[in-house]
């Protein structure tokens, strides 16, 4: 997405609206119904009643964050979602997790332009505390990402990964 284009201006309008909502959400006490109501406004999609979101909750865009049913998002998590972030059902997000679907160009002349690549976290996946997921990554069903990992490549279903960068640890047997 290039700076100075009509699309970029529209994105900026959404960002400004949602920045206010995110700040209001993170300042003061809110029960789960209030949190889900505000996050529903931010994402422009109804957050299911089975989902639990702990504060603070951060997103830089909001409209491309899609949250499944029975999801748990712990406090301090950041969703850089302009490229799209999809959380399946029963996903567990540990504290201070960062999921990014946006990157920048290497070329210094166009570095402020954005590269958008969706991130998919499939059903029943678990991201431990302080995990970072980079743009374009797919985390498979039932996968576990160990605390502190930086995920730069897809994680197959039923697999545990950890480390920096995240590497295969073992297969989960059902």
Mean pLDDT value across residues 85-92: 98
Residue 31 above 60 pLDDT?
yes
Mean pLDDT over each residue of the chain, to the nearest integer: 94
Q: How far is CA 139 from CA 1, 33, 95, 99, 114, in A?
A: 25, 29, 18, 11, 23
User: What's residue 2's pLDDT?
Assistant: 59
Q: pTM for the full model?
A: 0.93
Query: Into how many domains does the chain fold?
Result: 1
In a domain, 37, yes or no: yes
> What residues are labeled active site?
104
Range of the domain at 133: 6-171
pLDDT at residue 9 greater than cutoff 80:
no
| CB atoms near residue 34 (< 10 Å) | 12
Query: What CATH code is carried by the domain that includes residue 61?
Result: 2.160.10.10
Instruction: Look at residue 50 and tell me if it is in a domain.
Output: yes
Within a domain: 1: no
Cα–Cα distances in Å, from 66 out to 5, 9, 23, 89, 124? 25, 22, 20, 11, 15
């Amino acid at each position: 997405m290039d700076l100075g284009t009509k699309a970029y201006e529209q994105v900026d309008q959404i960002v400004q609206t949602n920045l206010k909502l995110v700040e209001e959400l993170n300042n003061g006490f809110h029960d789960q119904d209030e949190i889900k109501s505000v996050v529903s406004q931010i994402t422009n999609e109804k957050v299911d009643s089975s989902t639990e979101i702990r504060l603070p909750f951060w997103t830089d865009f909001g409209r491309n964050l899609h949250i499944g049913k029975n999801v748990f998002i712990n406090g301090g998590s950041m969703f850089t979602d302009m490229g799209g972030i999809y959380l399946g059902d029963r996903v567990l997000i540990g504290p201070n997790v960062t999921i990014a679907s946006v990157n920048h160009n290497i070329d210094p002349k166009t570095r402020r332009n954005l590269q958008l690549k969706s991130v998919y976290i499939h059903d029943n996946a678990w991201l431990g505390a302080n995990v970072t997921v980079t743009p374009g990554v797919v985390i498979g069903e039932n996968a576990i990402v160990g605390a502190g990992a930086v995920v730069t490549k897809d994680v197959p279903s039923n697999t545990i990964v950890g480390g920096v960068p995240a590497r295969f640890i073992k297969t989960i047997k059902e």
